[in-house]
C-alpha cells in the first residue's frame, strides 16, 4: 500500500489484505539496507488472522520515496508518525536488527502509542566493522557479500530456505543491491554505528517485550542480545538453535510460532 508520511510517498506491505485501520495494527521494521520483503513469512499470516499489518519500507528503501533517514532517533520518530498517517492510534512493533534500535527509539519517543515490542536479532548497540562501513559507504558490492556472510548462520550458508526454490544468500543480496548501496546500506550502517542510546532506552522500556535470538548470530551476537534483553524489564527471551541473524527467513516457521504466541497473549484480537 502507498500512503504519505510527512508528505512523502511511503510503501508498506499489508500482507496481502486490504488495510483496515479498525483492526489491531502490527508494524514490522526491517534491518539495514533491506525492505518489507524480508517479512513475507510473518506478515501474511497475521494479515489473514484479523490483524492489520504494515511491513514498512523506511524512507529511501524498497518502494518508498525520499532520502534515507540519517539517525536511529529520526527513524524511530518516523515509525511513530506512520501510525497516525494510516489513521491509527496505537500499534505493536516488530523490529529486526537495526529495526530493533529503531523500534526501541519509537517506544521511547511515543510510549503511549506502542502496545508490545518484539526484537529479532537485536543488541543495545550495533557498532560496525570499520572496513564494512567504508565499503558500504563507497557502494562497493563486497559490503553486501560480507553482510550476507555475517547475517546467515552456518546452516543458512548451505541453504534450505523455507520457501521451496529460494536461495537465502542471494535473495538478501538482491534486495540490498537493487538500491544504490551507499544511499541505503551505507547510511543505515553509519546510523547504527553512531547510535549510543540503546542501553539507556532499554532500561526505561515498560511494555511487553519479546527478544528472539539466533544461537549462531554473528551480526548481533547471542550474548549481546541477552544483555539487551536483561536491560528490559520482564523481557521474554527465545533462542533459536542452528540459526544466524536472519531468523525471520532462516527459521521462519519457528520465528512465526514464537511471535504468534507472544502476540496472542499480549496483543489479542478483541473478542
Partner 1 sequence: MDPKTYKFDTLSLHAGYQPSKNAGSRQVPIYQTTSYMFDDVDHAAALFNLERGGHIYSRMSNPTVQVLEERVCALEGGTAALATASGMSAIFLTIMTLCNAGDHMVVSSQLYGGTVNLFRLTLPKFGIKTTFVKPRDTEGFKKAIQPNTKGIFGELVGNPGNELMNMPEVSNIAKEAGIPLIIDSTYQTPYLCRPFEHGADLVVHSLTKWMSGNGSSMAGILVEGGTFDWMQNDKFPSMTEPYEGYHGLSFAEEFGPTAFTMMARAEGMRDMGPCLAPQNAWNILHGLETLSLRMEKHCSNALKMVEYLSNHESVAWVSHASAPGHPDKELAEKILPKGTGSMIAFGIKGGKEAGAAFINNVKLASHLANVGDARTLVIHPASATHSQMDEATLKFAGLSHDMIRLSVGLEDFEDIVNDFEDGFKAAKKPRLVANK
Residue 7 CA from chain centroid, whole number: 23
Residue 78 CA from chain centroid, whole number: 14
> Applying CB under 8 A, does 159 fall inside the site for partner 1?
yes
Question: Other C-beta atoms within 10 Å of 242: how many?
Answer: 14
Please identify which residue in 3, 8, 23, 45 interacts with partner 1, judged by CB under 8 A.
45
Alpha carbon distance 16, 44 (integer Å): 6
115 to 134: interface string for partner 1, x by CB under 8 A? --------------x-xx--
Residues 6 or more apart whose Cβ sits within 8 Å of residue 201: 104, 105, 107, 108
Alpha carbon distance 27, 39 (integer Å): 11
Q: Taking the complex as a whole, how short is the minimal distance between the CB of residue 109 and partner 1, in angstroms?
A: 29
Residues 6 or more apart whose Cβ sits within 8 Å of residue 128: 189, 190, 192, 193
DSSP tag of 161: -
Stretch that binds partner 1, among 81-89, 150-158, 180-188, 207-215 (CB under 8 A): 150-158
Which candidate, 242, 267, 268, places its Cα nearest to that of 118? 267
52 to 71: interface string for partner 1, x by CB under 8 A? ----------xx--------
- Cα distances from 239 to residues 1, 212, 223, in angstroms, run 33, 6, 11
Please, which residues bridge with residue 52 across strands?
25
Please identify which residue in 32, 35, 52, 64 interacts with partner 1, judged by CB under 8 A.
35
Between residues 63 and 215, which has the closer beta carbon with respect to partner 1? Answer: 63
Q: Taking the complex as a whole, how short is the minimal distance between the CB of residue 244 and partner 1, in angstroms?
A: 12
Please identify which residue in 67, 70, 84, 178 interacts with partner 1, judged by CB under 8 A.
178
Q: Taking the complex as a whole, how short is the minimal distance between the CB of residue 12 and partner 1, in angstroms?
A: 10
> Applying CB under 8 A, does 17 fall inside the site for partner 1?
yes
Q: Taking the complex as a whole, how short is the minimal distance between the CB of residue 17 and partner 1, in angstroms?
A: 7
Could you list the residues that contact partner 1 (CB under 8 A)? Answer: 11, 13, 16-18, 35, 37, 40-41, 44-45, 48, 62-63, 129, 131-132, 142, 145-146, 148-149, 155, 157-167, 169-171, 174-175, 178, 242, 252-253, 256
Amino acid at each position: 500500500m502507498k500512503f504519505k508520511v510527512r508528505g512523502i510517498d511511503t510503501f508498506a506491505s499489508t500482507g496481502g489484505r486490504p488495510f483496515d485501520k479498525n483492526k489491531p495494527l502490527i508494524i514490522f521494521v526491517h534491518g539495514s539496507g533491506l525492505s518489507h520483503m524480508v517479512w513475507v513469512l510473518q506478515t501474511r499470516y497475521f494479515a489473514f488472522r484479523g490483524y492489520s499489518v504494515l511491513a514498512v519500507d523506511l524512507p529511501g528503501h524498497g518502494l518508498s520515496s525520499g532520502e534515507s533517514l540519517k539517525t536511529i532517533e529520526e527513524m524511530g520518530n518516523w515509525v511513530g508518525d506512520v501510525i497516525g498517517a494510516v489513521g491509527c492510534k496505537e500499534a505493536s512493533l516488530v523490529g529486526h536488527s537495526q529495526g530493533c534500535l529503531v523500534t526501541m527509539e519509537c517506544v521511547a519517543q511515543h510510549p503511549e502509542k506502542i502496545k508490545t515490542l518484539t526484537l529479532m536479532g537485536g543488541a543495545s548497540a550495533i557498532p560496525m566493522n570499520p572496513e564494512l562501513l567504508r565499503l558500504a559507504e563507497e557502494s562497493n558490492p563486497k559490503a553486501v557479500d560480507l553482510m550476507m556472510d555475517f547475517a546467515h548462520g552456518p546452516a543458512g550458508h548451505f541453504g534450505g530456505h523455507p520457501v521451496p526454490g529460494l536461495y537465502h544468500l542471494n535473495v538478501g543480496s538482491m534486495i540490498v543491491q537493487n538500491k544504490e548501496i551507499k544511499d541505503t546500506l551505507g547510511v543505515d550502517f553509519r546510523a547504527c554505528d553512531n547510535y549510543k542510546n540503546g542501553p539507556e532506552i532499554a532500561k526505561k522500556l515498560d511494555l511487553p517485550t519479546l527478544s528472539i535470538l539466533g544461537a549462531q548470530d554473528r551480526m548481533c551476537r547471542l550474548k549481546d542480545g541477552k544483555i539487551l534483553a536483561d536491560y528490559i524489564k520482564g523481557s521474554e527471551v527465545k533462542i533459536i538453535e542452528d540459526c544466524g541473524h536472519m531468523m525471520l527467513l532462516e527459521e521462519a516457521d519457528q520465528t512465526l510460532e514464537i511471535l504468534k504466541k507472544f502476540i496472542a497473549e499480549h496483543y489479542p484480537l478483541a473478542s
